[in-house]
């Protein structure tokens, strides 16, 4: 009941949030669709001289004019003027220096979103600016409600630096406060404060904060854009340095006029130069183009993607393409017309990797991977360090202008707050139960000799009564006698053992000194200690003494499935019926992992060597060192920042390209296993002359030619009926689809394999009278 209530709460929370995003009024300066860039404020700090920069006149903050719309606290301040020749713009030749906390105040004409840009450059005549360290705060006045506070600035040099904020101004006065660290100073060269255009909707993040700080602004496929060439005085950097694979993309461009009449974007959304250039897939050897950007871990980010179809062959993108965000969400992007600009806004909470990854990917193998013209990334500002950063939601924001009643908005916000608190408490509980998925707790310095991998705290999830003394392990394996060695793997060696009670066991001894080995060791214990299923190998104990990583399993008498298919002359051949029953058993084990627990478990290394057979030739899935726990019915998990894990030949192509890991990645690998069972050939065979190395590609090629009989294991000659063979290949083909959404679930695979087995049994029953 508690689980149902929690799921209901989550569903209600998401529903409320969607309604809120649809009904919340557009946060703009005015309701008018027209916008012109305001003439103020542009302040040249530390001087009484006016200068021109980015098409705007910056007024000296020491000017004695009648305009009192901005002012600064001139106590404990100094000025700096660069007397040496410099190539930097004039606004960086002077600076105002603060030796104690001081502030600038601006009288705001109207409420709504405003750009606030702060310009910094350490003037060479003041060496103390190079070591300046201070915090910056933005607040309304006189209420002193913070838009942001304690934004730390340091590490300056003579290269100009711009910090840009987008604040929702709700007061007639804005105060920017500079607070230098002890024995240091604060400074500022120039300030811009002006209202933002009305196509910029700022959604609220989980913490109800809707003030942003710009992190990246990229002109994809084009040159750097300076403030003089931007409609809002923005700077756009080139994107080449952020490509995940440098040779995966090519630049495209057009000099034709843009069509703004049918566009959702305007000339203020991004300049012409952004929409006239783009990047697309270089060739079709890969199916996506990825950009990887360093960001703050667990921060909420507002991301704007700019699109404009400038491809000469528009038919390639008539059906659209996919946009991936950090491996957690996929958006179908469909161009709205040739040379017609549009954009998509996304809110994403990054994981602990410190990377934000975005990709464009093809929908089909014979199509291009789409295009991307520009990318803006802004982080949501927080007023304290206590903001909730544990969630991993992604929201897609469709620009709209719908009026909403204030009472409804407030009630929705209150409801979201209550649901968020409940969700966070539940999440903490789940996190406490799933320590295995936190890599920071898994690595231990190899210099430690006797300290345990896991805490002896009685509340530790690993206090499961499964610990086995190292002395017992030595006795069981005869001190790891080489004659008892029955297997080798990436984690370590496997020995046949006899425990004190006389029962047989398989003992896996991990390689020491490996951080990844520790990860696999703890993950294996956590997964196997919480699952029980007749088609999953059971863990009977573990040992961590003396820096050892030892796992004790039930003994599987018949060894691996692979040994019975190829690579071993000692193992007896399996009949077609046995092979089908093994496939069904393994499928049931995987189905339990995907659906039998509150959290789904993705095995991530399904292959014939990880399917073991007991004395009755019953299949059991083994080796959970690479497994991944996910929350059911939520966004796909995965991260482009992490290495793809698994075994080549079995790896899901969509997972390899996008790093999005789902249960369907296991389904793909299982499809390869089905072909191994039928063909008795490895997933990758490098020793075949003039043949295709990849088993899946090779088998599907024969299926398309209608020559499947030529690839069947010769040992199965006369055992497989054509209906059974045809249906079996159909199942394998479905599992091997390029995209996970086109693959069946393991439950579907079980049903279809059971039907194949039924066809085989019926055919055998018909043949019985003939044999007699």
Q: Domain 439-554's class?
A: alpha beta
601 in Cβ contact with 552 (< 8 Å): no
Query: Is 508 assigned a ligand-binding role in the annotation?
Result: yes
Query: What's the pLDDT score for residue 43?
Result: 95
**735-768 confidence digits (pLDDT tens):** 999 889 999 999 999 999 999 999 999 888 887 6
Q: What is the pLDDT of residues 411-434, one digit of tens each?
A: 555 554 555 544 444 433 323 222
pLDDT above 90 covers what percent of the chain? 42
Pairing of strands 56-60, 42-44: parallel
Q: pLDDT digit string (tens) for 498-550?
A: 988 888 999 999 876 444 567 678 777 877 777 889 999 988 888 888 778 89
Q: What is the per-residue pLDDT across 191-220, written as a single tens digit (0 to 9) for each?
A: 999 999 877 666 554 445 678 999 999 999
Mean pLDDT of the chain: 79
- The 3-state secondary structure of 199-241, one letter per residue: CCCCCCCCCCCCCEEEEEEEECCCCCECHHHCCCCCCEEECHH
Q: Is the pLDDT of residue 731 over 60?
A: yes
Q: Say yes or no to pLDDT of 51 above 70.
A: yes
**219-to-216, 275, 294, 333, 334 alpha-carbon distances in Å:** 10, 9, 17, 19, 20
Which is the CATH superfamily of the domain at 26-198?
A: Galactose-binding domain-like (2.60.120.260)
Q: Which CATH class is domain 559-771?
A: mainly alpha
Cα–Cα distance measured from residue 559 to residue 589, given in angstroms and rounded to the nearest whole number:
17
Q: What is the pLDDT of residue 140?
A: 83
CB distance 521 to 551 below 8 Å: yes
Report domain extents, the chain.
2-25+403-433, 26-198, 199-397, 439-554, 559-771
Q: What is the pLDDT of residues 343-380, one digit of tens each?
A: 999 887 776 678 888 989 877 656 666 899 999 999 98
pLDDT digits (tens, 9 = 90+) for 312-322: 554 455 678 88
CA separation for the pair 647, 672 (Å, rounded): 11
At the topology level, CATH places domain 199-397 in Jelly Rolls (2.60.120)
Residues serving a catalytic function are: 605
Question: How is residue 409 written in tokens?
Answer: 């908005």
The 8-class DSSP code of residue 637 comes to B
Q: Is-same-fold flag (439-554; 559-771)?
A: no
pTM of the entire predicted model:
0.53
């Amino acid at each position: 009941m508690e689980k149902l209530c929690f799921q209901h709460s989550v569903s209600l929370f998401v529903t409320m949030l969607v309604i809120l995003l649809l009904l919340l009024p557009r946060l703009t300066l005015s309701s008018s669709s027209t916008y012109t860039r305001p003439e103020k404020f542009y302040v040249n700090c530390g001087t009484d001289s006016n200068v021109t920069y980015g098409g705007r006149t910056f007024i000296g903050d020491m000017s004695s004019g009648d305009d009192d719309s901005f002012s600064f606290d001139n106590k404990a301040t100094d000025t700096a003027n660069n007397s040496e020749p410099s190539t930097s713009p004039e606004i960086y030749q002077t600076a105002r220096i603060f030796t104690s906390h001081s502030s600038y105040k601006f009288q705001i004409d109207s409420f709504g979103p405003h750009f606030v840009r702060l310009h910094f450059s350490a003037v060479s005549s003041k060496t103390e600016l190079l070591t300046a360290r201070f915090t910056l705060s933005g607040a309304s006045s006189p209420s002193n409600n913070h838009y942001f506070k304690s934004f730390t600035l340091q590490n300056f040099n003579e290269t100009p630096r711009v910090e840009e904020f987008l604040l929702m101004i709700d007061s007639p006065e804005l105060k920017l406060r500079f607070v230098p660290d002890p024995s240091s100073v604060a400074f500022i060269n120039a300030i811009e404060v002006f209202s933002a255009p009305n196509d910029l909707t700022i959604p609220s993040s989980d913490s109800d904060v809707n003030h942003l700080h710009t992190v990246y602004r990229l002109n994809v496929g084009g040159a750097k854009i300076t403030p003089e060439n931007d409609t809002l005085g923005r700077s756009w950097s080139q994107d080449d340095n952020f490509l995940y694979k440098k040779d995966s993309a090519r630049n495209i461009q057009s000099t034709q006029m843009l069509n703004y009449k049918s566009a959702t974007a305007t000339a203020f959304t991004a300049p012409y130069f952004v929409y006239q250039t783009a990047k697309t897939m270089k060739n079709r050897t890969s199916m996506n183009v990825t950009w990887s950007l360093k960001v703050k871990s667990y921060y909420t980010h507002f991301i704007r993607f700019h699109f404009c179809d400038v491809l000469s062959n528009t038919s390639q993108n008539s059906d659209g393409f996919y946009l991936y965000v950090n491996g957690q969400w996929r958006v179908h992007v469909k161009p709205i017309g040739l040379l017609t600009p549009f954009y998509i806004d996304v809110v994403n909470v990054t994981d602990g990797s410190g990377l934000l990854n975005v990709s464009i990917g093809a929908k089909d193998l014979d199509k291009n991977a789409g295009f991307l013209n520009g990318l803006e990334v802004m982080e949501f500002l927080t007023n304290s360090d206590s903001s909730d950063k544990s969630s991993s939601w992604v929201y897609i924001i469709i620009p709209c202008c719908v009026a909403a009643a204030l009472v409804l908005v407030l009630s929705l916000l209150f409801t979201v707050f209550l649901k968020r608190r409940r969700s966070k408490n539940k999440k903490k509980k789940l996190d406490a139960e799933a320590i295995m998925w936190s890599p920071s707790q898994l690595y231990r310095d190899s210099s430690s000799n006797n300290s345990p991998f896991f805490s002896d705290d009685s509340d530790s999830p690993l206090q499961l009564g499964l610990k086995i003394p190292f002395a017992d392990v030595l006795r069981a394996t005869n001190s790891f006698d080489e004659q008892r060695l029955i297997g080798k793997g990436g984690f370590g060696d496997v020995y046949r053992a006899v425990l004190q009670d006389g029962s047989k066991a398989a003992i896996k001894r991990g390689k020491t000194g490996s951080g990844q080995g520790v990860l696999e060791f703890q993950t294996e214990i956590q997964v196997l200690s919480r699952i029980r299923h007749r088609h999953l190998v059971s863990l009977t104990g573990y040992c961590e003494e003396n820096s050892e990583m030892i796992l004790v399993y039930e003994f599987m008498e018949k060894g691996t499935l692979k040994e019975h298919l190829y690579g071993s002359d000692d193992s007896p051949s399996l009949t077609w019926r046995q092979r089908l029953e093994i496939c069904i058993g393994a499928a049931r084990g995987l189905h339990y992992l995907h659906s039998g627990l509150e959290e789904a478990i993705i095995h991530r290394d399904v292959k014939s060597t990880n399917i073991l057979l007991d004395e009755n030739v019953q299949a059991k899935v083994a080796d959970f060192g690479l497994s991944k726990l996910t929350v059911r019915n939520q966004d796909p998990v995965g991260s482009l920042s992490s290495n793809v894990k698994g075994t080549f030949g079995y790896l899901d192509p969509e997972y390899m390209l996008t790093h999005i890991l789902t249960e369907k990645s296991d389904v793909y690998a299982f499809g390869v296993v089905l072909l191994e069972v039928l063909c008795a050939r490895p997933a990758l065979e490098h020793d075949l002359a003039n043949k295709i190395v990849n088993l899946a590609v090779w088998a599907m090629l024969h299926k398309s030619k209608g020559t499947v009989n030529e690839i069947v294991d010769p040992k199965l000659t006369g055992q497989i009926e054509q209906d059974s063979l045809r249906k079996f290949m159909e199942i394998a083909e479905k599992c091997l689809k390029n995209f996970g959404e086109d693959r069946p679930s393991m439950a579907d695979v079980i049903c279809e394999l059971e039907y194949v087995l039924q066809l085989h049994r019926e055919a055998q029953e018909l043949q019985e009278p003939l044999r007699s």
